[in-house]
Amino acid sequence: MNLEYFYRQLYHWWEQNKRELPWRDTEDGYRIWLSEIILQQTRVQQGMEYYMRFINRWPDVEALAQADEQEVLREWQGLGYYSRARNLHKAARQMVEKGTPSGPLSRGERVIFPQTYDELRALPGVGDYTAGAIASFAYNLPYPAMDGNVYRVVARLTDCSEAFDTTAGKKLFHQKIEQLLDREQPRLFNSAIMEFGALYCTPSLTDSETGACVCERCVIKEVCEGYQHHTAELLPVRKPRPQLKDRYLNYTIYLSEQDGEICTLIHQRTAKDIWQHLWEFVLEESENHVLALHKGTPYVDINHVLSHQRLHARFAICRTDRLPQIEGTRCVRLSELDAYGLSRLTLKALDQLRATAGF
C-alpha cells in the first residue's frame, strides 16, 4: 500500500470530519484513561455524560483514589460492566500507594501517571487496546489502538477474512496494523482511523441520508482492497458467537412501614459473578423458569441481556407488617435506595414499578 497517500487522505478526512470531544483536547493521561474505560462497550453520547460527571467529581487520580468504592459504583450506575468501575478505582488506589519513583507520596505531592506502554498495561482493567490508546493519545508513543472500528477498517483495507476475535486472528490483525501505523504521528493516526471507522467505514457502509454505499465516495478507496475486490460488505468476519446462558432470577421486594417510612430489604452481591459488590433486592434463583406468584401479587417481568447471559427476572412486591429476618440482608428506607450501587436491571425494575405499582 502507498502509505504516504493513505495517511494524507485519512488525515485530510479527519480534519474535515472529527468530532469535538472533551477528552480529545487534552494530553492528560488520567483524563484519557478515564474516557477510554468509560467508552468500552458504551456509546459516545452516553459516555460523555458519565465522563463529565466523573471529571467534575474526581478531577485527578488522587481524588478518585480517596473515593469510597460504593460512591464510584453509584456514579457508574446504568453503564453496565461494573468491573470497569471497580478496576478504575483499584488502579487509582494502586497508583497513589505506589507514589512516585522516589517513594510514597508525601503531603502535597502528585501521582505520576504511568507513562510507558508496559506500566499502563499493568494497570487493572487495562488491556492492549486501552494501553495503546493512552500511550498514543497522551504521550504520542507508537502503539496501535485496535478497537472494534479499527478492526473493521483494517479487515476491509487489507481484504482479510480471518475472524478477528480469535487468538490467531488478533495476532494477524496486530501485524497488519503495525504495518499501517504512522510511527511519526501515532496520536494522529490512531485518532483518525478510529474516527473513520466510527463515522464513515461503518458496519452497514450505507449513507444514512441517501441509502447509497459510501465506498464510491470514500477518500481511501484507491488503497482499499476490500473495495477493489468487492468484499468490503462481508468484512470483518467474527468467530461464531457462543450460546447465551439463560438464568431465572426471582426478586422479592419486601415493603414495610416503619416510623412513617417505607423500608425494604437489600443485600450486596459478593460472589464472583455478575454485578459483584452491587446491591439488589432479596433474590432466589430458579432452574428453568421464573417462579409463579400468588394471584394478585404486583410484579414486573424484565428480560435483560448481558454479554454471555440472558436474564429472565421477576420482581414481586410483598407488603408486610414486619420485614422478615433474612441473613445477609440490610433494612433500608426506600427513599435511601439511591445511595446504593444498583444494577441496571434493578433500576429498570424500579422505574417500571414506580409507573405501575405506585411505588
Known catalytic residues? 36
Please, are residues 247 and 302 in contact by the beta-carbon 8 Å criterion?
Answer: no
Nearer to ligand SF4, 224 or 274 (CB): 224
Please name the amino acid found at residue 7.
Answer: Y
Rg of the chain on CA atoms, in Å: 24
| Bridge partners, 247 (sequence order) | 311
Q: What is the rounded distance in angstroms from the CA atom of residue 162 to the CA atom of residue 239?
A: 9
Q: Angle at Cα 167 formed by Cα 165 and Cα 172, nearest 5°?
A: 85
Q: What is the rounded distance in angstroms from the CA atom of residue 249 to the CA atom of residue 353?
A: 17
Nearer to ligand SF4, 140 or 202 (CB): 202
233 DSSP assignment: G
Q: 245: helix, coil or strand?
A: strand
Residues of this chain that bind ligand SF4 (CB under 6 A): 153, 156-157, 200-201, 205, 214-215, 218, 220-221, 224, 226-227, 232
| Bridge partners, 131 (sequence order) | none
Alpha-carbon distance values, 343 to 77, 91, 326 (Å): 7, 22, 21
CB of 301 to ligand SF4, least distance (A): 42
CB of 133 to ligand SF4, least distance (A): 21
Residues in CB range of 162: below 8 A, 6 or more apart: 168, 169, 172, 173, 237
Residues in CB range of 238: below 8 A, 6 or more apart: 163, 164, 165
Please, are residues 329 and 265 in contact by the beta-carbon 8 Å criterion?
Answer: yes
CB of 181 to ligand SF4, least distance (A): 16
Nearer to ligand SF4, 54 or 200 (CB): 200
Q: What is the rounded distance in angstroms from the CA atom of residue 123 to the CA atom of residue 318?
A: 44
Nearer to ligand SF4, 146 or 345 (CB): 146
Q: What is the rounded distance in angstroms from the CA atom of residue 39 to the CA atom of residue 32?
A: 10
Nearer to ligand SF4, 39 or 220 (CB): 220
CB of 217 to ligand SF4, least distance (A): 9
CB of 210 to ligand SF4, least distance (A): 14
Residue 115 cell numbers, joined: 507513562
Residues in CB range of 233: below 8 A, 6 or more apart: 205, 213
CB of 151 to ligand SF4, least distance (A): 12
CB of 231 to ligand SF4, least distance (A): 9
Nearer to ligand SF4, 119 or 207 (CB): 207
